[in-house]
Amino acid sequence: MKENTLKNLAVTLKTPAFIFDLDILKERIQWVTEVIRPAKLCYAIKANPFLIGEMDAYVERYEVCSPGEFHICVKEHLPMEKIVLSGVFKEEEDVRYAMEQGVMHYTAESKQQFELLSRCAKDTKKTVEVLLRVTSGNQFGMSESDIVELVRARNAHPFLKIGGIQYFTGTQKKVLKKIAAEVVYIEEFIQRLQDEEGFITETLEFGPGLGVPYFTKDDFEEDRVLLEEFAKLFQRERPYQVIFEMGRFLTASCGYYLTKVVDQKRNDAVNVCIVDGGIHHVNYYGQNMAMKTPILSYFPQHPMEQEEAEEWTVYGSLCTVADVLLKKLPLVDVRVGDCLVFHNIGAYSVTEGIYLFLSRKLPSIYFYKEREGTKLIREDLETWTLNTRR
């Protein structure tokens, strides 16, 4: 988005607010799709559920990890055949509902989940595909021995087809050597399943967890280089379909967060600036108590009477010392009414913040396209009704 456009939006829209630039999103996802070909994309909708309708032309599947996320998919009329129902906690009523709606792809994170899926498929008379998730040592997925046990018993579950393997170890990885080692591991395991158990993998859903740059000291070309180098690991043909699960890597760059200065003062030797947003809306992975500075824009709304910048600490509107957004931020003649815009906030912040703390409103949400302008997607919402007795 052009800086002048961003400035006009920051001045005219009610803050706090999120803006998602759909032109940036489209350009990003088209580039990713081209680089990873012939692999396909699975969009992890937890990164930003507001964008799922803009993804459909480009993604093979959607990863859905909760009943609430699935209800969003139903409301948005997503193709049920593109949904992968995942998550470490699946309840029977939710699995049954998904199967009744036509969801054909599931992950199993444990032997108990596998049995649950088998039972629900049998009861609903649906034949569904299951991906067995391999653990990386945390709460997600299963051990190799558990997966081998399920593979050996696969004929006892006629309504389940084990389609392959899912593997994801974490996010914001910026070292290709680590990712390459994970690729080698999971492919060797797939080969052992074939050699020792006669199991042919048809699909590998792999989450590379590629890192994206956020902060002023980051190299903002490193994510492009990382993806291109990563894609080279998958250039040779494989006997199974490879699907890359991505969320943050696709959506981070399309988002902006708008907030305004509502108060300022000098407390001892510290210049204090209060904005109408805060940490309940802004959450960059890797940022801790404003120890890093994300890319942002400053738009003063008054005639400038000073020329030299001063260092300001920017606090949010929550009554907690934890609500600090920026430290030692150089600003020139900052005053009440001035606008700050945080960049690269298209992933997670819109849903990940501590939104119910202090019962403040949820921000409004806008889409932007250069040809069509700005469109209000959701008005700001009161939360105090959720924090009181009925």
Q: Report the pLDDT value the prediction gives residue 236, as an integer from 0 to 100.
A: 87
Q: Say yes or no: 232 and 374 in one domain.
A: no
Q: Report the pLDDT value the prediction gives residue 103, as an integer from 0 to 100.
A: 98
Q: Report the pLDDT value the prediction gives residue 146, as an integer from 0 to 100.
A: 98
Q: Say yes or no: 281 and 236 in one domain.
A: no
Mean pLDDT of 88-96: 97
CB count in 10 Å sphere of residue 38: 10
Report yes or no on 370 lying in a domain: yes
Report yes or no on 289 lying in a domain: yes
Which of 192, 215, 246 is the endpoint of a domain? 246
Q: Report the pLDDT value the prediction gives residue 390, as an integer from 0 to 100.
A: 84
Q: Report the pLDDT value the prediction gives residue 48, as an integer from 0 to 100.
A: 98
Residue 17 has pLDDT above 90, yes or no: yes
Residue 235 has pLDDT above 90, yes or no: no
Distance CA 314, CA 156 (A): 60
Q: Report the pLDDT value the prediction gives residue 116, as an integer from 0 to 100.
A: 98
Q: What is the mean pLDDT of the chain?
A: 96
Mean pLDDT of 222-240: 94
Which of 246, 266, 291 is the endpoint of a domain? 246
Residue 289 has pLDDT above 80, yes or no: no
Q: Say yes or no: 165 and 112 in one domain.
A: yes
User: Tens digits of per-residue pLDDT, 354-387?
Assistant: 999 999 999 999 999 999 999 999 999 999 999 9
Report yes or no on 38 lying in a domain: no
Radius of gyration over every alpha carbon of the chain, rounded to an integer in angstroms = 23
Q: Report the pLDDT value the prediction gives residue 286, as an integer from 0 to 100.
A: 85
Task: List the Cα angle 100/243/79 in 5-degree steps.
Answer: 30
The CATH number linked to 107 is: 3.20.20.10
Q: Which long-range contacts (CB under 8 A, 24 or more apart) does 41-44 make?
A: 41/243, 41/244, 41/246, 41/250, 42/84, 42/205, 42/243, 42/244, 42/245, 42/246, 43/245, 43/246, 43/247, 43/250, 44/207, 44/245, 44/246, 44/247
Mean pLDDT of 8-17: 96
Q: Say yes or no: 236 and 267 in one domain.
A: no
The CATH number linked to 341 is: 2.40.37.10
Mean pLDDT of 24-30: 98
User: Tens digits of per-residue pLDDT, 316-351?
Assistant: 999 999 999 999 999 999 999 999 999 999 999 999
Q: Report the pLDDT value the prediction gives residue 30, as an integer from 0 to 100.
A: 97
Mean pLDDT of 184-206: 98
Q: Say yes or no: 61 and 180 in one domain.
A: yes
Report yes or no on 337 lying in a domain: yes
Determine the structural domain holding residue 164 and report its residue range: 49-246
Q: Report the pLDDT value the prediction gives residue 184, as an integer from 0 to 100.
A: 97
Of the pLDDT bands very low, low, confident and very high (cuts 50, 70, 90), residue 196 is very high
Residue pair 257/9 in contact by the 8 Å Cβ criterion:
no
Residue 304 has pLDDT above 90, yes or no: no
Q: Say yes or no: 277 and 131 in one domain.
A: no
Q: Say yes or no: 78 and 188 in one domain.
A: yes
Percent of the chain with pLDDT over 70: 100
Q: Say yes or no: 210 and 323 in one domain.
A: no
Report yes or no on 24 lying in a domain: no
Q: Say yes or no: 231 and 257 in one domain.
A: no
Q: Say yes or no: 242 and 257 in one domain.
A: no
Q: Report the pLDDT value the prediction gives residue 292, as an integer from 0 to 100.
A: 92
Which of 246, 276, 310 is the endpoint of a domain? 246
Number of structural domains in the chain: 2
Q: Say yes or no: 186 and 288 in one domain.
A: no
Distance CA 141, CA 383 (A): 35
Q: Say yes or no: 165 and 216 in one domain.
A: yes
Distance CA 66, CA 91 (A): 10
Q: Report the pLDDT value the prediction gives residue 207, as an integer from 0 to 100.
A: 97
Q: Report the pLDDT value the prediction gives residue 226, as an integer from 0 to 100.
A: 96
